């Protein structure tokens, strides 16, 4: 069985790290380059950088900021936000990203997933799913969670794998920022539907929540933001706790 991963997430707006609840009420969480350096030093397995308003503002991800982060860390680094073409991905990989994450553009043009996987390899193509429970169904949302789509989350996860995505970054908008725990049932359903790694995001508030998402939720990685940004949980302490619970973690 693959070891589980702990992934801090930097949500970027106007060049700063921010964090909110249910995708709104954002507050400043610090300088992304400095935070990235701290997380790499603390033993984070990977880092995710999401320019959360790039699609809404109809602009590209901040390349210079990506370059500065990449020069600062020595762990795998995934970048998302406003990516919609082979040229966009090429520019980000050249700036130092190891993987890219697409979301709204994949919904708008699903063939983009196939094209990117063919051009760069599935291993560096992450497709993010922002999902909310609406009228008894899990519905995919785009544009930073602002727009509901016609897509059902579980079926979309299967399609992503079939089109060549290497990983799924699954964010429950219902639990995001609440610190009440990950969406375990949904995460387990997506993990069961797709045979590619699932990164669970949204709701981490305690070390036990990570235990739950790796066991009950069957996630391959746990992603969190505010609990790390505001020093509520330290990554070394979290990894030691998970090992004590019998969960195989990277060193």
Q: Which residues of 65-93 are buried (b: 16+ CB within 10 A; e: fewer)?
A: bbebbbebbebbbbbbbbbbeeebbebbb
Single out the catalytic residue among 45, 88, 130, 220.
130
State how far the Cα of 235 lies from the Cα of 240, in Å rounded to an integer.
9
Residue 152, Cβ density class (10 Å: 0-12 exposed, 13-18 middle, ≥19 buried): middle
Instruction: Tell me the two tokens of residue 228.
Output: 């790390």
Nearest 10 degrees: Cα torsion 230, 99, 65, 59: -110
Residue 176 has a CB neighbour count (10 Å cut-off) of 24
* Nearest CA-CA partner of 83 in 74, 162, 66: 66
Residue 214, Cβ density class (10 Å: 0-12 exposed, 13-18 middle, ≥19 buried): buried
Please confirm, yes or no, whether 130 is among the known catalytic residues.
yes
Single out the catalytic residue among 11, 88, 212, 220.
11
Nearest 10 degrees: Cα torsion 90, 92, 98, 99: -80
Q: Which residues are catalytic?
A: 11, 130
């Amino acid at each position: 069985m693959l070891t589980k991963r702990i992934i801090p997430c930097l949500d970027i707006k106007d060049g700063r790290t921010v964090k909110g609840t249910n995708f709104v009420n954002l507050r400043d969480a610090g300088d992304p380059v400095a935070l990235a350096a701290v997380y790499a030093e603390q033993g984070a397995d990977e880092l995710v950088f999401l320019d959360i308003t790039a699609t809404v503002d109809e602009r590209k991800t901040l390349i210079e900021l990506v370059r500065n982060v990449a020069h600062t860390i020595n762990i795998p680094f995934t970048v998302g936000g406003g990516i919609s073409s082979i040229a966009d991905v090429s520019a980000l990989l050249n700036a130092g990203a190891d993987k890219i994450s697409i979301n709204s553009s994949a919904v708008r043009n699903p063939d983009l997933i196939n094209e990117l996987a063919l051009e760069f390899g599935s291993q560096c193509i992450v497709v993010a799913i922002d999902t909310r429970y609406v009228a008894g169904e899990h519905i995919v949302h785009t544009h930073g969670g602002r727009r509901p789509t016609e897509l059902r989350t579980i079926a979309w996860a299967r399609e992503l794998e079939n089109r060549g995505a290497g990983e799924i970054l699954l964010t429950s908008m219902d639990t995001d920022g609440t610190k009440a725990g990950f969406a375990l049932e949904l995460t387990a359903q997506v993990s069961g539907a797709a045979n590619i790694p699932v990164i669970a995001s949204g709701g981490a508030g305690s070390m036990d929540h990570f235990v739950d998402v790796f066991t009950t939720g069957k996630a391959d990685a746990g992603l969190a933001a505010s609990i790390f940004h505001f020093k509520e949980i330290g990554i070394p302490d979290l990894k030691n706790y998970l090992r004590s619970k019998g969960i195989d973690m990277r060193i």
